[in-house]
Amino acid sequence: MRNALLINYAYCTGCHTCEVACQKEKGLGPEQFGIKLTQIGPDQIEERKWQYEFVPVPTDRCDRCVERTESGKQPSCVKHCQAGCMYAGPLNDLVPLMADGKYALFT
Ligand code: SF4
Ligand code: SF4
Kindly give, in sequence order, each residue whose CB lies less than 8 Å from that of residue 101, ignoring residues fewer than 6 positions away: 8, 9, 10, 11
* Domain containing residue 28: CATH number: 3.30.70.20
Ligand 2: nearest atom to the Cα of 7: 7
Task: Using pLDDT thresholds of 50, 70 and 90, give the confidence band for residue 60.
Answer: very high
Residue 93 has pLDDT above 80, yes or no: yes
Q: What's residue 92's pLDDT?
A: 94
Q: What's residue 1's pLDDT?
A: 73
Counting the structural domains of the chain, the total is: 1
Find out whether the beta carbon of 16 lies less than 6 Å from any atom of ligand 2.
yes
pTM to 2 decimal places:
0.93
Phi first, then psi: give them for residue 46, nearest 5 degrees.
Answer: -150, 175
Residue 12 has pLDDT above 80, yes or no: yes
66 alpha carbon – ligand 1 mean position (Å): 9
52 alpha carbon – ligand 1 mean position (Å): 24
Residue 16: domain span:
4-106
pLDDT in tens, 41-52: 999 999 999 998
User: What is the sign of the dihedral through the CA atoms of 67, 68, 69 and 75?
Assistant: negative
Find out whether the beta carbon of 57 lies less than 6 Å from any atom of ligand 2.
no
